[in-house]
Amino acid sequence: MTYSYTQISQYLTCPRRYRHRYLDGWREKDTRAAMLFGRAFEQALAAFFLREDPAAVLFREWTGSQKQDLQYSNGDTWDRMLQQGIQLLDRFCQDDRVRIRQPRRNLQIKFTRRVSKQNDFVAYVDAIGRLDDRRCLLEWKTTSSRYPEEPDGLLALDPQLVCYSWITGIAEVALMVFVRKRLVEVQYLRTAITDEQRQEFGQLVEDTIRRIEAAQILPHSGIRFPQNPCTSCPYVGLCLGKPELVAAALVRRPGAEDLGWLDELTY
Ligand code: SF4
């Protein structure tokens, strides 16, 4: 079995969510505009480092999503998101703080780690390069709100960065946050992950896999209103037994448990 960060984090958010997705094969419909825009923007960033035209690539990739019946949030529109994307690419080029040598090798890098006799863990890291001339692991994120910078040091608790530091063994990590708002902004955030954090993450992976393999899948979102994840969970229709909610949000692909690691490419 091959596990990924998304699998582990889905299980830790709510084990029943893990069952719906990985054992029963239910998946969210790919109609969320923000997610598809994020994928198109990643392609545009790759084009920038490969010395191609990033705006042309963004337009091409985002046009490919236009035909689908997209769900927009926060008053977004297709045109507005494209415009924000081009402004963000301009800002990123002007800032000129990130360098990636040999981009064909150092973008979207696959790392695999054996976690037990039968199980591997796989992760796709966005890039390894330099931020302000210091070598680090690089992650991109598009979002409509700023990443919080207070309290100081918060980024070191980001579970996905801890995971990528664990699988690569690289302590220095950086997150480039492309914020789509009225005046666009690129945040360049950097932190270091300690040996202890990497060790603990390895233990968390092993422990979580043990619980998954012991079929401990009782539902527990764990947190009450207003942070209760059930309120934004795509699987809420299944848990409430409401077929109309299921039909609106999900499609079923049986046998998905063998392909869980592909989540790394889509989230
Ligand atoms: S709706 Fe709530 S209980 Fe059901 S899978 Fe989602 S988070 Fe878990």
- Measured in angstroms, how far is the CA atom of residue 218 from the centroid of ligand 1? 10
CA 267, CA 253: separation in Å to the nearest integer? 18
Give the global pTM: 0.90
Q: Quick one: which of 168, 208, 143, 198 has its CA closest to 10? A: 208
- Measured in angstroms, how far is the CA atom of residue 34 from the centroid of ligand 1? 22
- Region label for 132, one of left (φ > 0), alpha (ψ between -120 and 50) or beta (otherwise): left
CA 14, CA 64: separation in Å to the nearest integer? 33
Mutation to probe ligand 1, out of 22, 223, 230 (largest number of atoms < 8 A from CB): 230
Secondary structure in 3-state letters for the chain: CEEEHHHHHHHHHCHHHHHHHHHCCEEECCCEHHHHHHHHHHHHHHHHHCCCCHHHHHHHHHHHHHCCCCECCCCCCHHHHHHHHHHHHHHHHHHCCEECCCHHHHEEEEEEEECCCCCEEEEEEEEEEEECCEEEEEEEEEECCCCCCCCCCHHHHCHHHHHHHHHHCCCEEEEEEEECCCCCEEEEEEEECCHHHHHHHHHHHHHHHHHHHCCCCCCCCCCCCCCCHHHHCCCHHHHHCCHHHHHHHEEECCCHHHHHHHHHHHC
Instruction: Determine the pLDDT at residue 68.
Output: 73
- Measured in angstroms, how far is the CA atom of residue 47 from the centroid of ligand 1? 38
- Measured in angstroms, how far is the CA atom of residue 238 from the centroid of ligand 1? 8
- Measured in angstroms, how far is the CA atom of residue 267 from the centroid of ligand 1? 19
Instruction: Determine the pLDDT at residue 226.
Output: 79
β-sheet bridge partners, residue 232: none
Closest atom of ligand 1 relative to the 219 alpha carbon: 3
Instruction: Determine the pLDDT at residue 138.
Output: 98
Instruction: Determine the pLDDT at residue 106.
Output: 97
Estimate to the nearest angstrom the gap between the alpha carbon of 148 and the chain centroid: 17
Closest atom of ligand 1 relative to the 236 alpha carbon: 1
User: Which residues surround ligand 1 with Cβ inside 6 Å?
Assistant: 14, 16-17, 20, 219, 221, 229-230, 233, 235-236, 239
One digit per residue, the tens of pLDDT, for the chain of length 267 reads 899 999 999 999 999 999 999 999 999 988 899 999 999 999 999 999 999 999 999 999 999 888 778 889 888 999 999 999 999 999 999 999 999 999 999 999 999 999 988 999 999 999 999 999 999 999 999 999 999 999 999 999 999 999 999 999 999 999 999 999 989 999 999 999 999 999 999 999 999 999 999 998 887 767 788 788 898 899 999 999 999 999 999 999 865 555 555 555 554
Residues 6+ apart with CB under 8 A from 162: 156, 193, 197, 198, 201
Instruction: Determine the pLDDT at residue 259.
Output: 55
Closest atom of ligand 1 relative to the 239 alpha carbon: 4
CA 2, CA 114: separation in Å to the nearest integer? 9
- Measured in angstroms, how far is the CA atom of residue 24 from the centroid of ligand 1? 14
Instruction: Determine the pLDDT at residue 49.
Output: 97
Closest atom of ligand 1 relative to the 230 alpha carbon: 2
Q: Name which residue sits closest to atom 2 of ligand 1, judged by CA.
A: 230
Instruction: Determine the pLDDT at residue 262.
Output: 56
